[in-house]
Amino acid sequence: MKSFVYVHEDSDFTIYNIPFGVFKKEGHHGVCTRIGDTIVDLHQCTTTTIFEGIELPEGIFSQRYINSFISLGKKITREVRRRLQNGLVTGGFLDNDMFKESTIFISSDEVTMLLPVHIGDYTDFYSSREHATNVGIMFRDPANALLPNWLHLPVGYHGRASSIVVSDTPIHRPSGQTMPEEAEKPVFGPSRQLDFELEMGFIIGKETPMGQTISTDKAEEYILGLMLFNDWSARDIQKWEYVPLGPFLAKNFASTISPWIITLEALEPFRISGPQQEPDVLPYLRYEGSKNYDIHLSVDIITESGASKRVSTSNFKYMYWNMCQQLAHHTVNGCNVRVGDLMASGTISGTTPDAYGSMLEICWKGTKPVQMPDGTERKFILDGDTVVMRGWCEKDGVRIGFGPCDGKVVGEWK
Ligand code: MN
């Protein structure tokens, strides 16, 4: 497939992608997709017959959030995406001078991308075996790095949705309590160990009532698509506060997501089988088929002066527990899910140090600093640094990507 719209060969937004997002331009906003560097305004598309026959409520694409649209169900979202894809190929419905010169198409540099989803509940898992092992070695016991439950269930906790922000939102260094080494009392002050966590998040597109479980083989019906997710973490605050209930203020000050929801349909060609699970899991966590995705991931740190260093190259395929198992586990007790809920994977670390998904692991608790090209070094993230996350899939000449998941640390709240 090829589009009549120019698409650079390295673009995340090829004709195979067709993600959903929400843009803002001169005071109005709306649901859109993107092809190359061109935004396609879906509300303006409804002035044509491109969606003819699809039951779309009036004004569904001119809303601030995408929730109403995705709550129409996968049959509708899938068909809208298919029509857009067919319309954007060379010779397709939109390949017409009248449309090309209309307000349907907007240059991407004329818009600001907004947080696309009104996120209801947010859950963070801990599903990378390599990450859990690294953390276990550093903070507990190298001989028993994984806790006894880890290979039997996808460990998770309920996070905070209110402070999830879209790519490019400035990140403030949190203050809080820490317990310095060998001190007798905790102290209060700005975190000195601000870190990122390289994760992916998925958005729930279909709700369940309380009491209904979601089986692993039905789970994909409830997942609209994926985004990049940076679970910013203050390690010094985390270390002191996390016992016994887990992370709290060390993580709820901000999380960054990329602005585009990449649908499961777009990711279909990049399915891959996950790691062998040993020991056997309980029946409700068993699954059939390939449930992992081959998504290349990277993290760069860019300093205030513009010096840039790639500190991680990982892949979503390393996840030990897949999204279907996470959702089956999340609902096995009757917990309901709602449209717009976000579930994140947990830090995605690969097997080698260059594939670790947090500075905590990359610098091994500060013992192996990263050398930056400007001569400075990093153990954690400093004020003025921008953390840049990218994700993309590539196979048989087909490429799709996730767009930016960037955040600049601007110092403390004033
Ligand atoms: Mn996390």
- Please confirm, yes or no, whether 131 is among the known catalytic residues: yes
Between the CA of 205 and the centroid of ligand 1 the distance, in Å, is: 22
- Give the distance (Å) from ligand 1 centre to CA of residue 2: 38
DSSP, collapsed to helix, strand or coil, labels residue 31 as strand
> CB 138: neighbour CB atoms within 10 A?
14
> Which residue matches tokens 């403030």?
172
Helices (runs of H) and strands (runs of E) counted in the chain: 9, 27
Amino acid at residue number 75: K
Whether pTM exceeds 0.75:
yes
CA distances to 197, 298, 329 from 255, rounded to whole Å, are 9, 17, 23
Distance 185 CA to ligand 1 centre (A): 27
pLDDT digits (tens, 9 = 90+) for 249-308: 999 999 999 999 999 999 999 999 999 999 999 999 999 999 999 999 999 999 999 999
- What is the model's pLDDT at position 91? 97
**Dihedral sign of CA atoms 40, 9, 168, 171 in order:** positive
Per residue in 144-198, pLDDT tens?
Answer: 999 999 999 999 999 999 999 999 999 999 999 999 999 999 999 999 999 999 9
Region 45-58 average pLDDT: 98
Q: In which band, very low, low, confident or very high, does the pLDDT at 27 lie, cut at 50, 70 and 90?
A: confident
Compute the distance between CA of residue 111 and CA of residue 129 in angstroms, rounded to an integer.
39
Mean pLDDT (the chain) is 97
Distance of CA 183 from the midpoint of ligand 1 (Å): 28
Give distance in angstroms: CA of 231 to centre of ligand 1: 5
For 82-111, write each residue's pLDDT tens digit. 999 999 999 999 999 999 999 999 999 999
Q: What local confidence, expressed as pLDDT, does residue 205 receive? A: 98
| Catalytic residue (one of 8, 28, 118, 131) | 131
Task: List pLDDT tens digits, range 351-409.
Answer: 999 999 999 999 999 999 999 999 999 999 999 999 999 999 999 999 999 999 999 99
Closest CA to 282 of 148, 157, 127, 151: 151
Distance 251 CA to ligand 1 centre (A): 8
Indicate if the pLDDT at residue 329 is higher than 90. Answer: yes
Distance 126 CA to ligand 1 centre (A): 7
Which residue, among 336, 62, 79, 122, has the nearest Cα to 210 in the 3D structure? 336
Residue length, the chain? 414
Give residue 119 CA to ligand 1 midpoint distance, Å: 17
Could you tell me the distance, in angstroms and rounded to a whole number, from the CA of residue 125 to the centre of ligand 1? 7
Query: What domains lie within the chain, and their CATH numbers?
Result: 21-113 (2.30.30.230), 122-412 (3.90.850.10)
d(CA 124, ligand 1 centre) in Å: 6
pLDDT reported for residue 139: 86
pLDDT tops 90 at residue 128: yes
Examine the pLDDT at 11 and tell me if it is beyond 90. yes
